[in-house]
Amino acid sequence: MSAASEHKHVGDGWGAVTFICLTVLALLFLAPTIGVLLSAFKSTRDIALGDLWSLPQALYLDNFAEIFANPSVRIYLVNTLLVTVPATAASIALGVAAGYVFAKLPFRGSDLIFLGVVSGMFFPPQIILIPLFKLFNALGLIDTLWPMILIHSAMGIPICTLLMRNFFSTVPNALREAALLEGVNEWQILTRVALPISLPALAVLATLQFTWIWNDFLWPLIFTQSDDKRTIMLGLVSLRGQYSVAWGVQGALSIVASLPTQVIFLFFQRFFIRGMTMGAVKG
């Protein structure tokens, strides 16, 4: 796996100690998550009686039944999808276009523009909260899904540009030149040569952006007012009142709200961790 693996510690008993340490830590680390998982499969009464930590006797699904019977939850999920999918696609498309120019068609000053765009990644969104509120207010888009779609498309540009530019830099220039000589235009080179080679980077970005946008809380908090425009994370908070003592239902809600991103993460995990650190370490 890495520089130090295999030959260090081996055969001196340290391996077992390390393993036990990690196992204990991992259990401690997992405990909160396991707690939520267990709660989702228990009745409120069981939890109140202090019986949270035992394995459920029978598969108790009432909590899930409860939330899927709640029409609001369905609306929240659909709204979140309606924001997440287009914004993920748009931010990646924009990042691909910009990253391609910065990697393959650089010009005088392009490095500076690149740096400017990428540094956008580091600023707290609070900095532009008020002007955006004013902007979408003026456009009459408050309490629609549009502000979230547009803002996430824009705020995703720095990370998408950074990753795609770094990835495209590893694609040999000769590939582009060979295609140019064959009369293939720049657009075809991007879509037929550069992008198919960059599928790992695209997978990473899809995961990152999907997770980030799905989990977002701040923008829906600012821009939505009515219940039928809420996204799932906001819905989670607003349902907290309705199910204030129904801890099991809240647990089930948390699981349902996290499931899509977990599925995507597990699916792309290999790419995800590699690409993530690639973007981060290479700055």
Partner 1 sequence: MSDVAIEAVTKTFGAVSIIKGVDLAIPTGEFAVFVGPSGCGKSTLLRMISGLESVSSGTIRIGDVDVTRRPPAEGGTAMVFQSYALYPHMSVSENMSFGLRMNGAPRAEIERRVGEAARILQLEQLLDRRPKQLSGGQRQRVAIGRAIVRHPKVFLFDEPLSNLDASLRVQMRVEIARLHQEIGATMIYVTHDQVEAMTLADRIVVLNAGKVEQVGTPLDLYERPANLFVAGFLGQPSMNILDACVHAADGTQVSIRVAHGPLIGLELAAGHGLAAGEPVKLGIRPDAIRLQPRGRGEMPADVEIVEHLGDEVIAYLRLPGTPEAIIAKLEKSSGVRVGDACAIGFAVPELHVFGTDGLARTRLAHSA
Partner 2 sequence: MESHVRFWRVVLLAPPLLVFGLFVLWPLADSFRYSVTNWNGFSADAAFVGLENFRKIFTDGLFANAIVNSAIWMAAALVLPTGAGLALALLLDSGVRGAGVFKSIFYLPICLSSVVVGQIWIWIFQPDWGLLNTALSAASGETFGFAWLAKPGTALYAVIVAWSWQQTGLAMVIFLAGLTAIPRDLLEAAEVDGVAYLKQISHIILPMLRPATVVVIALSVINSLKGFDILYIMTGGGPFNSSDTLAMFMYDESFKKYKMGYGSAISVVLFVITLTIIFVYFKELKKMDEIYE
Q: Which amino acid is at 119?
A: S
Q: How far is it, in rounded angstroms, from Cα 16 to Cα 165?
A: 43
Does position 43 bind partner 2 by CB under 8 A? no
Q: Alpha-carbon Rg of the chain, whole angstroms?
A: 23
Contact by Cβ (8 Å): 63, 249: yes
Residue 169 beta carbon to partner 1: minimum distance, rounded to whole angstroms = 16
Does position 177 bind partner 1 by CB under 8 A? yes
Residue 101 beta carbon to partner 1: minimum distance, rounded to whole angstroms = 18
Name which position in 61, 130, 178, 245 contacts partner 2 (CB under 8 A): 130
Does position 61 bind partner 1 by CB under 8 A? no
Distance from the Cα of residue 47 to its chain's centroid:
31
Q: How far is it, in rounded angstroms, from Cα 83 to Cα 124?
A: 21
Residue 100 beta carbon to partner 2: minimum distance, rounded to whole angstroms = 6
Residue 182, binding choice from partner 2, partner 1, none, Cβ under 5 to 8 Å by partner class: partner 1
Site mask, partner 2, residues 77-106, x = CB under 8 A? Answer: -----------------xx-xx-xx---x-
Residue 202 beta carbon to partner 2: minimum distance, rounded to whole angstroms = 16
Question: Sign of dihedral through CA atoms 106, 111, 113, 117?
Answer: positive
Q: Looking at the chain, how many residues does it have?
A: 283
Contact by Cβ (8 Å): 143, 225: yes
Name which position in 11, 45, 59, 126 contacts partner 2 (CB under 8 A): 126
Q: Which residue, among 225, 104, 218, has the nearest Cα to 171 in the 3D structure? A: 104
Name which position in 39, 79, 84, 88 contacts partner 2 (CB under 8 A): 39
Does position 40 bind partner 2 by CB under 8 A? no
Does position 175 bind partner 1 by CB under 8 A? yes
Name which position in 113, 179, 203, 276 contacts partner 1 (CB under 8 A): 179
Q: Please work out the total of residues on this chain that contact partner 2, with binding judged by CB under 8 A.
A: 96
Residue with tokens 């499969």: 41
Q: Please work out the total of residues on this chain that contact partner 1, with binding judged by CB under 8 A.
A: 17
Q: How far is it, in rounded angstroms, from Cα 213 to Cα 190?
A: 26
Residue with tokens 């276009």: 97
Site mask, partner 1, residues 196-215, x = CB under 8 A? Answer: xx------------------
Residue 170 beta carbon to partner 2: minimum distance, rounded to whole angstroms = 16
Q: How far is it, in rounded angstroms, from Cα 179 to Cα 83?
A: 37
Does position 180 bind partner 1 by CB under 8 A? yes
Residue by residue, DSSP assigns 96-107 as HHHHHHHHHS--
DSSP structural state of residue 2: -
Q: How far is it, in rounded angstroms, from Cα 45 to Cα 36?
A: 15
Does position 112 bind partner 2 by CB under 8 A? no
* Candidate segments 18-26, 30-38, 124-132, 178-186, binder of partner 1 by CB under 8 A: 178-186
The residues that touch partner 1, with contacts defined as CB under 8 A, are 172, 174-175, 177-185, 188, 192-193, 196-197
